[in-house]
Amino acid sequence: MRGGHRSGNRNRGRGAFRGGRGGKNRNARDTRTEPWSNIPRENMFFESYYRRGIFMDEHEFEAMWKSMASDLPNSFRFTGTKSDALAVREIFKKRYIPNITSVTFDGEPVEPPRAVSAFPDELVWDMKTHKKVIRRFPPFAEFQKFLVAEAASGNISRQEVVSMIPPHFLDVKPGMVVLDMCAAPGSKSAQLAEMIHGDEEDRVKNAAANTPFDSEGGDYSDDGRSTGLLIANDTDYKRAGMLVHQVKRLNFPNLIVTQHDAAIFPSIELPSAPGQRRQFLKFDRILADVPCSGDGTARKNINVWQKWTPKDGLGLHNLQLRILFRGLQMLKKGGRLVYSTCSMNPVENEAVIASAIEACGGNSKVQLVECSDLLPGLIRRPGLNKWKVFDTSALSGGQDKKGHLFTSWEAFCTTKEKFAKEDPDRSFSPKMTEGVFPRSEAAEEERIPLERCMRVYPHLQDTGAFFIAVLEKKDDIKIAQIKSTHDVAAPTQSTQENSALPEALALKRKLEDADEDQSTKRSKTDDESEENIGMAMTEDDQNSELPASSVIDETPEPPVNGSTANKSADRVSAKTAPTNLQPSSQKQIEYFEYLPADDPIIADIFDFFGVDKRFPRDRFLVRNKDGLMLNKVYYTSELTKTVITMNKDRGMRFVHCGVIMFVSHKIKTPDQLKCPWRLQDEGIKILAPWASKRIIECTSKMTLYKLLVEMFPKLNQEGPHHLNEVGDQLQSLEPGCSFMKVEKSEGEDGFPFDMVFPLWRHPGSVNLMVDKEDRKATLLRLFNEKDPVIKNHVADKAAEKALKEKENKQDEGEKADETSHVEANGMEISEE
């Protein structure tokens, strides 16, 4: 399968922050002992803000709020660009759905998993079954085992439904260059990778066979391979590792993982002609799924109910705006950027979009896209043009807190002046800026149509809440055009990434899309806790004068290495940063060294397997400083190679790229091997269409079953064997690795999709080079083997030998004891 065998995992639910200001331990474990079901899903200010903030009418709010207080269904997605994943979907529908449907609980039939109608082709499913039912009935345990196995194989992604929406609105085509700015832990990146990959597998097969193939729908000019590239980025070192774990299972050579602050993501240099101006990579598509307060995750994150505060959104507005600015700078003219959050707060959503468009020069430069034609089955609400902003005021020391709803910046300023006279000890949030408020009426051609944004609420299709806005860059953005009336510190040429850690690191979200574990805690954006606000909110609609505007000094192409530290107020001290963030001076250095196209070892490998000359020889890399073929050899796409080689010495933090293609095979007698390199399961499907030697055809299910349940079955050069058609083909083959191909076929003994496995021919045995967990997953998928026993002939033989040696030693020890006893007795008699 194209899919790999190590599942990534969306760790927790997303939306909170990693670290923050204040003296508390922001990464402390959740130590409460009461069950989640006993924790009340109530928060007066949380409810009051969304009830009275002009978001929806009272009737719809009641439906939404009732849904918010209920548990979120579990959901998963079949990876729709792979034929084997679609076949797995059919196995799921035919094998598991009927068994679950037959279950009854308390006299009522249990609702089985259902396809989510908002997504096409039955690729997205959810399930509302209560945990009590799942624990009680065996069909659910079998279904759970199936989900875990297929997630590890890359055919299924465990992901929240609303989290799957933003990539669809990017409208990615194969051949496009895409950036995921805040990617960890990677479920959206996996979707984007699948879109860039498209259906290249069938096209590559045709290209390798010199058969014409359809080139419509994307750029497949690289012999059927997609020419696109996905760069998945995250600012946090450990989260970038999670991201690698998630995307590696896709075995995607057109992928790079980086670790940078998204707000000052470095420019990526491309080759330029001598004497010409330096060229930098621009992106066709960018996803900015930014850090947010995460109040849309309340159905799976109980901390939202306990700790929600209006300062969450106010504290994040500037960071979100800076990330959006940088994304728009790196976008091609005519390119598309999707901005998304899992928050319902317009301060983090519509206010950020309006501020960005204004700062870039208005609708003539950046335009909101109408997307009603994409995902037409998705029930959504339009973006808001009017809203209220919630803030709290308090006396010094945090006493006597009051909540306030403001309809405009003028009303806030008037109220602040009023309290300054009547109650001078009372203070408001310093994060309140003009940019968080709705815009005043403007001429139609200048008005920003925020209604083109999309809001997904929990009650519409039983999901979490999400905000999505699709932006198209109509013209280049000049420095002089980036002006704003908002207090935003945008990155400048003097910004140095490796100085004091930026707010983007301190406020990095902690909760992710997966709902397996919801016990993580989130921290505040301000010094003080908002847990004990006891006063009712007031609405302040007075007016006052607008303050003078400020100019944002932003450079379209920030450097990778800066010279001086930015002293803006958005910086925080290193001691308040999370301890798991690794400074670049201490971070692990990753090496990516490409091999020359005429490397003799690669030439020998290609000759051994009969690889077509058209398959590129110059895209193989090793991951050591000296560029030596020590253990593993990786394969990447052409554009990936260009980006890595041009920027690896410019300070860019590359974390991962490449698919493992070959692994060194160590044996005691290397002289017996013509090619001491074995094909790796991760990359074999990329190379298989181009190979003409060492091809073994497996046509029987029984043969495949035997090779899966037995490791190292015997196979001599001559004589009988029990490996059927595979054994017949292998007997005349010299030792080394080979491709074992399985083609899709009909009938009871047929296979649901094409497969290819690395098969090693030893002098006296063979072995399918697939680990135990992957063997079990394949046995469950193809043969419904729930608890297979994998027999390892070599391990069994070694264990038997060790046991015999142990028994021999025991026998020798007993004989020695007897001899000593006889000798001792003889000595005793002699002495008497």
**Calpha distance 358→488 (Å, rounded):** 13
182 is annotated as contributing to ligand binding: yes
pLDDT-derived band of residue 586, with 50, 70 and 90 as boundaries? very low
Among the listed residues 541, 233, 281, 269, the one whose alpha carbon sits nearest the alpha carbon of residue 386: 541
Buried b (16+ CB within 10 A) or exposed e, 770-790: beeebbbbbbbbbeebeebee
Q: Is 413 a catalytic residue?
A: no
Among the listed residues 372, 361, 384, the one whose alpha carbon sits nearest the alpha carbon of residue 449: 384
pLDDT of residue 189: 93
**Calpha distance 545→547 (Å, rounded):** 6
Residue 359 has pLDDT above 70, yes or no: yes
Of all residues in the chain, the percent with pLDDT exceeding 70 is 79
CB 220 within 8 A of CB 203: yes
Residue 759 has pLDDT above 70, yes or no: yes
Q: How far is CA 211 from CA 367, 613, 686, in A?
A: 43, 17, 17
The boundaries of the domain holding residue 139 are: 73-158
> Domain ends where: 91, 126, 158?
158
> Domain ends where: 158, 187, 215?
158
Among the listed residues 442, 470, 444, 455, the one whose alpha carbon sits nearest the alpha carbon of residue 353: 470
Range 297-316 average pLDDT: 89
171 is annotated as contributing to ligand binding: no
CB 260 within 8 A of CB 235: yes
Q: How far does CA 52 lie from the centroid of its chain?
A: 36
Residue 360 has pLDDT above 60, yes or no: yes
- Give residue 572's region: left, alpha or beta (phi > 0; psi -120 to 50): beta
pLDDT-derived band of residue 554, with 50, 70 and 90 as boundaries? very low
CB 522 within 8 A of CB 303: yes
186 is annotated as contributing to ligand binding: yes
pLDDT of residue 828: 38
CB 267 within 8 A of CB 560: yes
Domain membership flag for residue 13: no
User: What's 184's DSSP letter?
Assistant: T
CB 295 within 8 A of CB 511: no
Residue 113 has pLDDT above 60, yes or no: yes
CB 636 within 8 A of CB 619: yes
Domain membership flag for residue 2: no
**Calpha distance 195→228 (Å, rounded):** 10
Helices and strands (H, E) in the chain, number of each type: 23, 34
Residue 81 has pLDDT above 80, yes or no: no
Domain membership flag for residue 709: yes
Domain membership flag for residue 718: yes
- More confident position, 485 or 225: 225
Domain membership flag for residue 720: yes
Q: Give the helix ranges, DSSP H, for 452-558.
A: 458-461, 503-506
> Domain ends where: 134, 158, 182?
158
Q: What is the pLDDT of residues 666-691, one digit of tens each?
A: 877 767 789 999 999 999 999 999 99
pLDDT-derived band of residue 177, with 50, 70 and 90 as boundaries? very high
Q: What is the crossing angle of helices 58-68 and 44-52, to 10°?
A: 150
**Calpha distance 487→550 (Å, rounded):** 7
Whether the link from the prior residue into 185 is cis, omega within 30° of 0, is yes
Q: How far is CA 123 from CA 117, 155, 463, 484, in A?
A: 10, 11, 16, 43
184 is annotated as contributing to ligand binding: yes
183 is annotated as contributing to ligand binding: yes
pLDDT of residue 806: 81
Domain membership flag for residue 216: no
Q: How far is CA 60 from CA 67, 117, 388, in A?
A: 11, 21, 18
pLDDT of residue 34: 55
For tokens 């910046």, what's the residue? 409
Q: How far is CA 328 from CA 232, 281, 367, 368, 476, in A?
A: 16, 13, 11, 12, 9
Domain membership flag for residue 296: no
Residue 194 has pLDDT above 80, yes or no: yes
Residue 484 has pLDDT above 50, yes or no: no
Instruction: Compute the half-sphere exposure of residue 8: CA atoms within 13 Å on the CB side of its CA.
Output: 29
Residue 731 has pLDDT above 80, yes or no: yes
pLDDT of residue 82: 64
Of all residues in the chain, the percent with pLDDT exceeding 90 is 49
pLDDT-derived band of residue 734, with 50, 70 and 90 as boundaries? very high
Residue 201 has pLDDT above 50, yes or no: yes
Q: Please, which residues bridge with residue 18 across strands? A: 508
Residue 367: phi and psi, rounded to 5, are -130, 140
Which stretch, 235-239, 343-347, 803-807, has highest mean pLDDT? 343-347
Mean pLDDT estimate for the chain: 80
End-to-end CA, the chain = 82
Residues in contact with 813: Cβ distance below 8 Å, sequence separation at least 6, in sequence order: none
Instruction: Compute the half-sphere exposure of residue 507: CA atoms within 13 Å on the CB side of its CA.
Output: 27
- More confident position, 330 or 45: 330
pLDDT-derived band of residue 555, with 50, 70 and 90 as boundaries? very low
Q: How many domains does the chain have?
A: 2
Among the listed residues 68, 44, 536, the one whose alpha carbon sits nearest the alpha carbon of residue 295: 68
pLDDT-derived band of residue 110, with 50, 70 and 90 as boundaries? confident
- More confident position, 332 or 8: 332
- More confident position, 17 or 541: 541
Among the listed residues 757, 753, 734, 735, the one whose alpha carbon sits nearest the alpha carbon of residue 745: 753
**Calpha distance 102→112 (Å, rounded):** 9
pLDDT of residue 818: 60
pLDDT-derived band of residue 220, with 50, 70 and 90 as boundaries? confident
567 is annotated as contributing to ligand binding: no
- More confident position, 10 or 369: 369
DSSP string for 455-481: EE-HHHHT---EEEEEEEE-SPPPGGG
Range 29-48 average pLDDT: 69
| Apex 208 CA angle, 207 and 214, nearest 5 | 15
CB 468 within 8 A of CB 169: yes
CB 70 within 8 A of CB 106: no
pLDDT of residue 398: 76
Residue 705 has pLDDT above 90, yes or no: yes
Burial class of residue 444 (count of CB atoms within 10 Å of its CB; 0-12, 13-18, 19+): exposed
Residue 18 has pLDDT above 70, yes or no: no
- More confident position, 5 or 259: 259
Residues in contact with 362: Cβ distance below 8 Å, sequence separation at least 6, in sequence order: 446, 448
Q: What is the pLDDT of residues 490-511, one digit of tens each?
A: 333 333 333 323 333 333 333 3
**Calpha distance 338→471 (Å, rounded):** 6
CB 700 within 8 A of CB 637: no
Q: How far does CA 659 lie from the centroid of its chain?
A: 17
Q: What is the crossing angle of helices 187-197 and 237-247, to 10°?
A: 40
3-state secondary structure of 405: strand
736-742 and 695-697 as β-strands: parallel, antiparallel, unpaired? Answer: parallel
Residue 332 has pLDDT above 50, yes or no: yes
pLDDT of residue 787: 87
Domain membership flag for residue 196: no
Q: Which of 292, 342, 453, 737 is catalytic?
A: 342
**Calpha distance 336→452 (Å, rounded):** 14
DSSP string for 339-400: EEES---TTTTHHHHHHHHHHHTSTTTEEEPP-TTSSTT---EEPPS---EEEEEB-TTS-S
- More confident position, 434 or 32: 434
User: What's 825's DSSP letter?
Assistant: H
Residues in contact with 59: Cβ distance below 8 Å, sequence separation at least 6, in sequence order: none
User: What's 610's DSSP letter?
Assistant: T
115 is annotated as contributing to ligand binding: no
Lowest mean pLDDT segment, chosen from 38-47, 76-85, 420-429: 76-85
657 is annotated as contributing to ligand binding: no
Range 604-622 average pLDDT: 96
CB 249 within 8 A of CB 152: yes
pLDDT of residue 805: 80
Element (H, E) at 258: strand 255-258
What does the block give as tokens for 655? Answer: 């974390």
Range 162-190 average pLDDT: 94
Residue 109 has pLDDT above 60, yes or no: yes
CB 722 within 8 A of CB 777: no
Instruction: Compute the half-sphere exposure of residue 164: CA atoms within 13 Å on the CB side of its CA.
Output: 25
| Apex 281 CA angle, 279 and 284, nearest 5 | 140
